[in-house]
Structure 1
């Protein structure tokens, strides 16, 4: 259990790495068991690539049924963190799990890793996999990408579930992630992630670009107000990355939003209380 809570701390404090090393990767390597766990994000049996304007983006497909896109968190995020969702949703849906640019086996591309670019990456994969519109489930960075996708491609998104993504005002947090801070936290885990990257030599360049973008971005009424599909806005009550007031503000900006707050949960609420998150999601999923 100590591995789990360390991982939660990391996801909640991704801009200020300062904890003891060698625990994140231990969590990532277990549950349900090393022998049975599917290596989401690095599974040749399910893996595919889509070529966008400037990058090859990696994704995996599981299950059958109505298509559903799963988007992980940013910086230290990976498709594997969404394992419980994929396990559960693949029983009834065609799950399209995407490693966003700069993460896992996806290329970084030539431009700023903005939410607009990520939304276009996701759109390209949707077009490659299905002719249908999709449900989107995004966590943190993946939820913001979902907001941009729903706003710019309303014909592609039936519904959106956004976890841990509130109104974002420029400069409200400072992002200064470096290779040194990441390796100081858990060098083995970072090396595992770098081993997946097609261009590991560009990792420092990518981190600088991500920091610059996050420090300048703003997500408010101009983006959220144009989303016309139903949106389930979810967050942990104790989310430090997306404080409760910012989540409620985002909810109020979208015309067809619903709100679910998971009591006493941090940023990755689904890792501390998956049953509550799942129970909130079920009524929202298409029948």
Structure 2
């Protein structure tokens, strides 16, 4: 019996370590963690006032502008590191920290994708009057849908990763408390808290985001209004944007292409970046 107990304790410890390593990989990919501090790089960072909040962004490279939008809640610019590394060679990369993430303020206005789209365009207008390519993951992809719908004259192409049709009731989003999240990866959150203008508001912000995600809509009216070419992408095993919802989005967008990466989950860009990049690059170059 004692042996069985020891084995159970060992198994629990291994699983706990494995979970933390996976979370660490989601938050800060190991291959870039000690290179450029994307999202916290003073040599490339700027602010723009977007209505009631200062939005932080970084600019890398030269060429056609590509706007990078990370995921929500646990997301940060660092998770988009491989995209930035790959794109800045031939493009001008504009990596935005969205409201309540990294060095961007939360503001006081209600959370909406209209506001997120306005934030994006406030940054874009500061840099260029030309059309831009948008590349968004998860929350960033839903923001991308809204930007493309609201500002069709400014968006040449959109890559939307991990964002399918969404209506209230299709999923139930429940967030960890900040204390629970910090225990999952204390090093990551210590870094993120140090960047935040108002870290004391983080739990309230998460609560507001949970309500927003559970009531948000990304359905036919929005998706059919997008006129630019769109690459809709997801991991085959994405539990956050299940495959049927992603295919529905692809079918609703008039000028769309579909890329499903086998055997990958929601963080497909980290699970198999090579396959993701192989799908994105031809789409950008078309």
Residue in 1 that maps onto 2:283: 284
Cα deviation for residue 282 of structure 1 reads: 1.4
Residue in 2 that maps onto 1:6: none
Q: Deviations over 1:43-66 (max 9, x none)?
A: 000000010111000000000000
Cα deviation for residue 172 of structure 1 reads: 2.2
1:7-156 matched pairs, under 5 angstroms: 20-21=19-20, 24-25=23-24, 28=28, 30-32=30-32, 34=34, 37-156=35-154
1:215-230 matched pairs, under 5 angstroms: 215-230=214-229
Does structure 2 retain, via aligned residues, the 8 Å contact 1:112–1:210?
no
Quick check: 248-257 or 271-280, which moved more? Answer: 271-280
Q: TM-score, normalised by structure 1?
A: 0.89
CA distance in 1, matches of 2:243, 2:117: 25
Does structure 2 retain, via aligned residues, the 8 Å contact 1:23–1:186?
no
Cα deviation for residue 252 of structure 1 reads: 0.5
Structure with the higher fraction of residues in helix conformation: 2
CA distance in 1, matches of 2:205, 2:174: 12
Cα deviation for residue 253 of structure 1 reads: 0.5
Does structure 2 retain, via aligned residues, the 8 Å contact 1:68–1:94?
yes
Does structure 1 retain, via aligned residues, the 8 Å contact 2:29–2:270?
no
Does structure 2 retain, via aligned residues, the 8 Å contact 1:167–1:250?
yes
Q: Which runs of 5+ in 1 are unaligned?
A: 1-18
Higher relative contact order (CA 8 A, sep 6+): 1
Does structure 2 retain, via aligned residues, the 8 Å contact 1:22–1:187?
no
CA distance in 2, matches of 1:218, 1:181: 28
Residue in 2 that maps onto 1:263: 262
Q: TM-score, normalised by structure 2?
A: 0.89
Q: Deviations over 1:149-188 (max 9, x none)?
A: 0000101110000011000121222222222331242333
Residue in 1 that maps onto 2:211: 212
Cα deviation for residue 275 of structure 1 reads: 1.2
Quick check: 158-167 or 262-271, which moved more? Answer: 262-271
Aligned length: 267
CA distance in 1, matches of 2:187, 2:84: 25
Q: Deviations over 1:190-237 (max 9, x none)?
A: 222111101111112111111111111111011111000000001111
Residue in 2 that maps onto 1:183: 182
CA distance in 1, matches of 2:232, 2:22: 30
CA distance in 2, matches of 1:234, 1:74: 17
Q: Deviations over 1:88-136 (max 9, x none)?
A: 0000100000000000000001022221111110011000011111000
Does structure 1 retain, via aligned residues, the 8 Å contact 2:70–2:79?
yes
CA distance in 1, matches of 2:29, 2:141: 25
CA distance in 2, matches of 1:33, 1:53: 33
